[in-house]
Structures are given as structure tokens and as C-alpha cells.
A and B are shown apart, each in its own frame.
Chain A
Amino acid sequence: MGTGGMAAGGSEVMEAFNREISEAGIEASVEKFCSMHKVGCRGLCAKDVLVDVIVGGKKTTYQYTKPGMVSRIVKEHLIKGEPVADWMVGEDYYSFHDKQTKVVLSDCGNIDPEKIESYFAVGGYEAAKKVLTSLSPEQTIDIIKKSGLRGRGGAGFSTGTKWEICRNTKAAQKYIICNADEGDPGAFMDRSVIEGNPHAVIEGMIIGAYSIGATKGYVYIRAEYPLAVERLRMALAQARGKNWLGKNILRSGLDFDIKIKLGAGAFVCGEETALIASIEGQRGMPRAKPPFPVHSGLWGKPTVINNVETLANIPYIIRKGADWFASFGTEKSKGTKVFALTGKVKNTGLIEVPMGMPLKEIVYDIGGGTNKGRTLKAVQTGGPSGGCIPSELIDINVDFESLAKVGSIVGSGGMVVLDNTDCMVNIAKFFLEFTQAESCGKCVPCRVGTKRLLEILSRITQGKGKEGDIELLEDLSHDIKASSLCGLGQTAPNPVLSTIRYFRNEYEAHIKESRCPAAVCKDLIEYSILADFCKGCGACMRVCSSKAITGEKKKPHSIAADVCVKCGACYDVWVFKIW
């Protein structure tokens, strides 16, 4: 159970199972003849709560499980051995998983993240053992380099090369930091990995520390992830208990321990120099590079900063070999990538696919297409630093190079599906609202520039756009990209530029015709009832929270424009009735 599963009621379902089983008083009583495990994220959030029931080696998965359903499952399936066919997952559950290739997530959702034994059972810490007992740091780095693993945090720098540079920098003290300050709106890859398999991250850090010569590690994790922090704390304590952390690990001579540092809620602290400043107790503001952290990082010492997913890949690469890992993906983008598939898609959730998979397959085969049967308009990747890929380019392969070509990025792995009810100007505005609020305020282009971009976008969505605003947006965006200090500012205008690039007509409609083609921008739309069609059913009147709709039964209703707050509830209820 990850945060998503628990929000869907996972804990209640588990409690219900415990209760039902003990009430039944059967041989099934937990810890005697059967066992119950809570596992991390399975990926398919849309169908939570998911429960696997394994009887006699045969696994049956139930979807949308509610506490009320537990009694029947226990009685029919556990006792009589007849699975409850009504509630079992359908084809789409399997098609969601079939197209995926799981490396980082291979054990997520199958092991109990709160028990180190559970990780041992799937080969956990064998990679660290192999590295510490039979490989030199240089050999380890060679394997990582050969695997072609590139940083999963967004920039895509070669992990092996980063380790090698830090290894070759002479210093008495070095550090390795795991960047778990995942802040992109709609992204939850790192959280799910830590919640589902925290030991893989720790093992990756041990291998990294051994390779670069670090004795201290930090996990910089946002405080908004309480469950991930708790599981990580548990995992660290267990690892220390088994001497996977601490003095003289495996009698190899390696001293290494990990501290948790909680982020205070600043998006910019995901930028490595700001992250370092934050650990040092300073205001989280980036500084100019060079010097890069591998030369002068935390407390001025050589420091490697890797993303959660990058580190979680390491044990699997060591265990199964560089060639195995490199067999996935494209020539320049090796391996797999975890994406958080969200937005207007049927199967929202966490997915892992080989690099280079066509976007079409991700959205339609894994995601199951748009959730309400509407037309796909675009896919936004890379979060606030990324861009929108229009539906015409749906055949594009998802890897570092291909996405960069069309003006977007892989980023940390956010993937938001947009349909024809999404206004692209509004989407750009949404991301600018985010980056503008999260700018640290250090450099002018980002601090004031993003504010001005947002103001221009706001006035366009309010129908107050002026001739020349599109050009001004483009011009300012390019200047912000060219002159900002850190990655936040350098990428903040991407959503604006990519939406203008592919959806210029929508911007023009807002400015020239005061029209929002997707009917999203409230200032440009008005709700009214067509008297010819209205049967006076009163359904819209009942859902109107501002009491703007009036009318007698079975007679045409009307909406008072001055009272209406344009929430769209009446429209939704009408659509529901019609369709």
C-alpha cells in the first residue's frame, strides 16, 4: 500500500480481511496457515484497492475492493476456494501490465516494503554483496557506464560518468545524496519507489558510495511524503541492524551510513545546488555551476547527487548485468523509465516502459486511451519544465533525444494526457503559476520574467489579450531560457513555447475572437439554457450551488448570468443525462 492505495481505502480493506478471517475462525487464521502482506504500489491507481488472493499457488486479483466486499471474498474464495468472478480484474488490468517492462518496479507491489527479509527473498542486497566482495570501485563504475544508465531526474547525464568524475576527484570526504525531492505536479514515481521498495534505493546508494569513495549519504526527501519517509526510516534501521549500513559493511572495510534530510516544501530544492544549500542549512537557492557538485558539493566536498529511480536501477544492473540493462531502450537512451501516467486517461497510474516506446502505445495500450472517450489533444511530459506533444505526433518514441526534438523532455517522468476539453493556454498558465510561485527569487529573468509571462497568459485567458502578445510571450520566453541561473528558470517557459508551437490557433482564438475553443476559460464562456430543448427536469437546478438557475417544473429554465459562477456543474449533469 502506497499513499495512493491508502487514500483509496487500502488500510480499511486490510483491517476488514484481518477481522473477517479471525471471525471465520478457520484454518485460514493469519500467521498459521496463511499470511497477509501489504505491498507497495502496483501501478494501476485507477483500480485501487487491488487485492491478490493466492490459494494453492493460483493468484487471483480483485479490483476496486471495498471493506464491505471482504466478507464474501473470504467466505467464497478463501474457504470454499471459488473466486468471486464479479470483482476480479478484467482484461485491461493485464493489458496495462503486459506492455510494460519492469526493472525498477519489478519488486514494487510484490514485496513487503516494511520487511527487509521480503527484499532478501527477491535477491535483495546481493548486488551490494557482489560489489563489496568481488568488484573494485572502478569495475563497478565500468559496469554502470557500460549499461548506459542516464540520470532519471530530468537532465539525463550519464550516471557512470558522474561517478567516475567524483571517484577521480581527490578529497578526504565525499558524499552521495539521493534526490527524493520530487516536486513536479502530477509526478509520483520516486515516492512510489521509496514506498514500495526502499531497500533498492539504499542498496543503490551503498554501491554508489563504494564506487566513489563516500562514507556519508543523505536522502533529501520532501516532508510531504510522510509514508515514504516512514518506510525509509524503517528500512534504514533494518539495514543498520543487518550491517548493510554502518561500520565495516560485510567486513569489506567500507564505512557508510545514510541520513534523512527532510525538504521544507520548495520545488527548487530539487535542483542540486539548491538541494546542497538546503542540507547545509542555508536558504534553498541554486548557485552558478561550475564548480559542479562532483568537484565541490556538500560542505565544499565532492558529492554525487542521484535521483531515486537512478539509484533504484543500480542493484538490478549489477545483479543482471550491464548488457541485460542495455538491451532495453534505444541507442542513446538505455533501460526503462518509470512514468506517472495521469490526466484524462483510463488507466491512470505508475508505469515502467523501455525507453523509446512509441507514445501511442503508452497512451492507448497501457493507458487504455482517454477516459471519457473524448479526442486526445496532447500529452504533456516533463512536468513544469516540459512541453506538450500534440496528438499528431503521437507516434513519437519516448526517449531523451526524440522528446527534445519536439520541444519537450522526458524530465522526471510526469505524463499528463489532455483531451479536447483542455485549453492549452490554460495549461501553460497552470504550469507558469507553479514555476512562478516556486522560483527562488535569486535571478531576475526567473523571478520577474515568469511573473510577467503569467500575467500575459492570464490576460489572454481573460479575453484581454492584445495583438502582439504571442510574439511578446515567445520573445520573453527565449530570453528567460537564455539568461536564467538554474534549470528551473531555463525550462520554465517550455510549456508556453511548446503550446504556442503546436496550438497557436488556440492563442489566436483567445486574443482575436475572445473565444476559448475548449470552453475552459471562465471569462470567455457563458452558460445559458436553450429553451427549445429544456424539458424542465430540474436536474441542473439541483446541482447549481450558486442558485443561478430558476424555472418551474416541466417548463424551460433559465440561468441568471450575474449569479452564475461558471462552475460547469449544470453542463456536466446535462451531458450525463444526454449521453
Chain B
Amino acid sequence: MVTLTLDGIKISVPDGTSVLDAARQCDISIPTLCHHPKLTPHGGCRLCIVEIKGMFRPVTSCTTPVSEGMEVATKSPALEKLRRTIIELILSDHPNDCMICEMAGDCTLQELAYFYGIRENRFEGERRIYAKKDGNPLIERDMEKCILCNKCVRVCDEIQGVKAIDVAYRGFKSKVCPPYERDLNCEFCGQCIRVCPTGALTGKNWALKGRQKDIKGIDTICPYCGCGCSLTLNVRKNEIVRVTSKEDTINEGWLCPKGTFGYHFVSSPDRLTKPLIRIAPKNSNKLQVTSYKLKNRKDFKDSSPLPTGQAGVTRPSSLFREASWDEAFDLIAKKFKGIKEKHGPDAIAGLSSARCTNEENYLFQKFIRAAVGTNNVDHCARL
């Protein structure tokens, strides 16, 4: 343990802790734009500068490890002046369009400008203008709003291990982009969006879906796989407008592309919400789902004519009928029993899903082995 003084407060922290982390432990807030607790310190935004006794110039608290007897001042007129200049410089190269920015109200830069009361800017000048927008389907990359904090570059490298983006060019022309400035073509995990402190990175599907203040966060578990990542559905007017995840969860706030962007099925008209029982004979009129896009749930019920040009396709409602879970389970049990009696238990095999949890998979094999009485059980992830 190392003991140091922060703004007159004595605190003991483990060796190797950064001054910034030590300050946060005693509730001293130091502004920063490029720091993320799970990423290697960058020291690029220079906002977290502090004065340390014995050092002749301010140092960044995110990159400076504590040392015994260190005396740190996190606030002073000189530091506040430097921070103000830095924020002014960043804003001088940032579009002044908070009114239409997706991140308004949720943007660290906006917050800093608010707290430092920056309206006039002494350093008005040339801004980076990028006319070409990224053509990828999921991540909106508005590089004019990028403040080059490098969080996205680091998260892509250090957390996701993909390194799809890095900084190109240098100086004022520096720009975060995929190789050769092509359109982004990565895993689309969306980690970069998660760490972006401004509106430079957002989801393309998030646009014009509402402000953060109108959004209700509903915590849930991701249904896609057995990992069971925690999700927070951002819901506005009963519609999911984006999916986020909190940092204090089992997945530490990181998600995969399905968890981040694959939420549209929830309100899809194609989604099955009740069990269906086949009413048509087995071999008659196969449902040609490939050429027939279900428009809405009414397709299962009404008997209106088929869309033109879809000759030979049978409407699902003529093949299936909706049923209750009890009825469906009774039917399944009855059929299983019938097969088992007629052909023996080995005529039955079970294949379970990676979307189920461990517990569910355990129960499934137990059911196949104990209830059905066969060892014909496997899992899709083994294929």
C-alpha cells in the first residue's frame, strides 16, 4: 500500500494505482475524455492533469502511478485554466450541432462545456470536414465529431482483439478509420460505440428514435446464447430503440453484435409468440417460406386471397392453428409416448441449442436420458 495526499486528503491505495483512480476512490472528480477504467491509459486529452509537488510541469493523473508521500493538487486556478483552454481547443474543431446530435444530453464533451461555461470560443478556426460517410449497415461514424480520444481504437484492440481501426494521418488531420479508409467491415460488436464520449460513433438504427431523457432502461438477459449477458433495453413508447449493457454486470458492459444490434426480432411481426399445431396433412402443400414473406400475424388467421404472383403457395393459416402451451405440451408428450411404444426409445434423438443456458441443457439431456430413455442426445455447438 502507498499513502499519498490528494487535495489535502490522506489516502492509502495499492501500489501501481494511478493518481486518477486514487482520486476517484476519495470522490475527487477529475475531468477526462480519453480514460476508460478497462483500457490502458492514453494520456491524450490532457484534461486529467494534476500538479504533483516536485514535478515542474502538470502531469496526467491517468498515466501517473502513485508513489509514497506524493502530494497531489487536482484543482488550482492554473489547472482549471489549462483545462478550459483544452476544452475550447476541442470544441473549436467540433461541429456545433448539439441540437441534432444523437448523443445530446449523454455526451461527455457537452457536459464539460456546460460545467466550464464555454459558449464563446477564442480559437475559432478550421474544422475537419469529412463529406464521405461510412457505408456499413450498423455503425454510424461521424468523424467530424471525433475528438481522437482513441478509446475506440483501444477497445477494438485490447478488449475485442480485432484492431479494425486505428489512427491514420497525423497532426490536425489525424483520423480514426479502418485500413485505407474503406468502409468499416469488422465484427460489428459495437464496443467502440459504447466507449465513445461524443456523438462520433452511434448505431445507425438509433437515429431519430428519441432523446435519452425519454428512454426507460429495462434490464434483462440476452436471449442469444448461454453466456447470459446482461442487457439494458432502452425503451421509448414500448419500442426498443437501442440496447446497452451496464459495466457492473457479468459481461462488464461488453456485448457482441447480436446483443447490440440484433434486437429487432422482439417487435417483428414474423415472431412466433404462441405454439402452432399443424392442421393440414403432413405431405400436402409445403410452406414455401423462402418465397413468401409473412406480413403480419393475421396471415395465420384470415383467409384473404394470397398476394398476386405467389401461386402455389399455401397460407400458413391453412397449415397451422394457434394453440395454448398446455395443449401443445400434451400433444408433444402424446407423440413421444406413441413413438417410444411403437419403435422403442432409440427411435428418438434430442439436439439442444447453444442459446440455452447450462442448466437448461442439463435438464434437456436429463429428460432425453431419464424420461425418454435414450442416449441419443447432442448439442448444436458440437457440430
* A residues in contact (CB < 8 Å) with B: 266, 268, 283, 285, 287-288, 290, 436-445, 447-452, 455, 472, 475-476, 479, 482-485, 490
Q: A472-B122, A483-B82 are in contact. Are A447 and B174 (CB under 8 A)?
A: yes
The interface residues of chain B lying within 8 Å CB-to-CB of A448 are 89-90, 92-93, 123, 172
Question: B253 in the interface, Cβ–Cβ < 8 Å?
Answer: no
Say if the beta carbon of B309 comes within 8 Å of chain A. no
**Cβ contacts under 8 Å, B46 to chain A:** 443-445, 483-485
Known contacts A447-B171, A448-B90; is-contact A441 B148 (Cβ 8 Å): yes
Interface string of B74-86 (1 = CB under 8 A from A): 0000100110011
Chain B residue with minimal CB distance to A446? B171
Measured CB to CB, the closest approach of chain B to A548, in angstroms, equals 31
**Which residues on the B side are within 8 Å of A290 (C-beta)?**
64-65
What distance in Å separates the Cβ of A401 from its nearest Cβ neighbour in chain B? 16
Interface pair B167/A283, CB less than 8 Å apart: yes
Cα distance A472–B92 in the bound complex, in angstroms: 15
Q: Which one of A444, A449, A475 contacts B44 once the chains associate, using CB atoms below 8 Å?
A: A444
Q: How far is the CA of A444 from the CA of B92 in the complex (A)?
A: 11
Residue from the set B46, B65, B122 with the largest chain A CB neighbour count within 10 Å: B46
How far does the Cβ of A500 sit from chain B's closest Cβ, in whole Å? 17
Q: Is the CB of B172 within 8 A of A287?
A: no
* Binary interface encoding of chain B residues 285-322 relative to chain A, with 1 for a CB under 8 A from any of its CBs, else 0: 00000000000000000000000000000000000000
Which of B85, B125, B169, B170 is within 8 Å of A455, CB to CB? Answer: B125
Q: Are A485 and B44 in contact (CB under 8 A)?
A: yes
B43 contacts A by Cβ under 8 Å? yes
6 A-B pairs with the lowest CB-CB distances in the bound complex, closest first: A441-B174, A288-B63, A439-B171, A448-B89, A288-B43, A479-B85
Given A283-B167, A455-B126, A483-B49, are A443 and B92 neighbors across the interface (CB < 8 Å)?
Answer: no
Is the pair A441, B89 in contact by a Cβ cutoff of 8 Å? no
CA distance A452 to B90 in the complex (A): 11
Complex interface: stretch among B54-62, B184-192, B197-205:
B54-62
- B41 interfacial by beta-carbon distance below 8 Å: yes
Q: Is there an interface contact between B82 and A447, defined as CB atoms closer than 8 Å? A: no
CB-defined A-B contacts under 8 Å, sample of 8: A283-B167, A287-B43, A436-B171, A441-B167, A441-B169, A445-B85, A452-B125, A483-B49
State which of A436, A441, A442, A476 has its C-beta within 8 Å of the C-beta of B85: A476
CB distance from A55 to the nearest CB of B (A): 55
Tell me which of B64, B126, B147, B150 contacts A288 (CB under 8 A).
B64
Inter-chain contact B59/A288, CB cutoff 8 Å: yes
- Nearest residue (CB) in A for B168 is A283
- Determine chain B's interface SS by DSSP, over half rule: loop
* Chain B positions within 8 Å of A476 at CB level: 85, 123
The answer to whether A447 and B148 touch across the interface, beta carbons within 8 angstroms, is: yes
Q: How far is the CB of B200 from chain A (nearest CB, A)?
A: 15
Give the docked Cα–Cα distance between A447 and B90 (Å). Answer: 10
Query: B231 to chain A: closest CB distance in Å?
Result: 34
User: Chain A binding site: helix, strand, loop or mixed by DSSP?
Assistant: helix
CA distance A451 to B174 in the complex (A): 12
Q: Across the interface, which residues of B come within 8 angstroms of A439, CB to CB?
A: 170-172
B166 at the interface (CB under 8 A from A): yes
* Separation of A472 and B59 alpha carbons in the complex (Å): 24
Task: Name the interface residues of B18-71: CB closer than 8 Å to any CB of A.
Answer: 41-46, 49, 57-60, 63-65
Residues of chain A contacted by B150 (CB below 8 angstroms): 442
A566 CB to closest chain B CB (Å) equals 24
Q: In the assembly, what is the distance between CA of A539 and CA of B176, in Å?
A: 54
A437 and B171 form a contact (CB under 8 A):
yes
Given contacts A441-B148, A483-B46, 11 further A-B contacts (CB under 8 A): A268-B170, A288-B60, A290-B64, A437-B171, A442-B44, A443-B45, A444-B90, A445-B46, A447-B174, A455-B125, A475-B85
Are B93 and A283 in contact, with the CB atoms below 8 A?
no
Partner of B58, one of A437, A450, A482: A482
Q: Which residues of B contact A482 (CB under 8 A)?
A: 57-58, 78, 82
In the complex, are the beta carbons of A452 and B89 less than 8 A apart?
A: yes
Min CB–CB distance A476 → chain B (angstroms): 7
**Residues of A close to B167: CB separation below 8 A:** 283, 285, 441
Contacts A288-B64, A452-B125, A455-B125 hold; do A443 and B43 have CB atoms under 8 A apart?
Answer: yes
How close is A404's CB to chain B, nearest CB, in angstroms? 13
Expressed in whole angstroms, the Cα–Cα distance for A283 and B42 within the complex equals 14
Give A485 to B166 CA distance when docked, in angstroms.
19
Could you tell me if A483 and B86 are in contact, using CB atoms closer than 8 angstroms? yes
* Alpha-carbon distance A438/B81, docked complex (angstroms): 26
A476 to B89, CA, bound (A): 10
Contacts of B82 in A (CB 8 A): 479, 482-483
Which residues from B are CB-within-8-Å of A266? 170
B43 touches A485 (CB 8 A): yes
Query: Is there an interface contact between A449 and B43, defined as CB atoms closer than 8 Å?
Result: no
> Are A440 and B89 closer than 8 Å at their CB atoms?
no
B45 and A444 contact, CB distance less than 8 A: yes
Q: Which of B64, B85, B93, B166 contacts A483 (CB 8 A)?
A: B85
B148 closest partner in A (C-beta) = A441
Give Cα A283 to B150, complex, Å.
Answer: 13
- Which chain B positions have C-beta within 8 A of A437? 170-171
Q: Mark B94-128, 1 if CB is under 8 A from A, else 0.
A: 00000000000000000000000000001101100
B residues in contact with A442, CB < 8 Å = 42-44, 148, 150
Give the nearest-CB partner of B93 in chain A.
A448
Once bound together, how far apart are the Cα atoms of A482 and B76, in whole Å?
14
Inter-chain CA distance A285–B154, complex, in Å, is: 14
CA distance A514 to B279 in the complex (A): 92
Question: Which residues on the A side are within 8 Å of B63 (C-beta)?
Answer: 287-288
Would A438 and B125 be within 8 Å (CB), given that A452-B92, A483-B82 are in contact?
Answer: no
In the assembled complex, the CB of B180 is this many whole angstroms from the nearest CB of chain A, namely 15
Known: A476-B123, A483-B49. A451 touches B171 (CB 8 A): yes
The answer to whether A438 touches B170, judged by C-beta atoms less than 8 angstroms apart, is yes
Q: Which of B43, B49, B147 has the most CB of A within 10 A?
A: B43
Task: Find out whether the CB atom of B126 lies under 8 angstroms from the CB atom of A447.
Answer: no
| Whole-angstrom CA separation of A176 from B333 in the bound complex | 76
- Interfacial chain A residues near B49, Cβ < 8 Å: 483
Bound CA span A490–B170, Å: 17
- Candidate in B57, B59, B63, B89 with the most chain A CB atoms within 10 angstroms: B89
Instruction: Name the residue of chain A whose CB is nearest to the CB of B78.
Output: A482
For A447, what are the chain B residues with a Cβ–Cβ distance below 8 Å? 148, 171-172, 174
Chain B neighbourhood of A288, CB < 8 A: 41, 43, 59-60, 63-64
B82 and chain A: residue at smallest CB distance? A483
B232 CB to closest chain A CB, in angstroms? 32
Nearest Cβ on chain B to A57's Cβ, whole angstroms: 55
Q: From residue A353, how far is it (CB to closest CB) to chain B in Å?
A: 30
Whole-angstrom CA separation of A448 from B44 in the bound complex = 12
Q: Which residue of B lies closest to A436 (CB)?
A: B171
Residues of A within 8 A of B65 (CB): 290
Q: Which residues of A contact B42 (CB under 8 A)?
A: 442
Q: Within 8 Å CB of A483, what residues of B?
A: 46, 49, 58, 82, 85-86
Q: Which residue of the partner chain B has the closest CB to A441?
A: B174
Which residue of A268, A436, A445, A490 contacts B89 across the interface (Cβ within 8 Å)?
A445
Give the residues in chain B near A451, CB-CB below 8 Å: 93, 125-126, 171-172
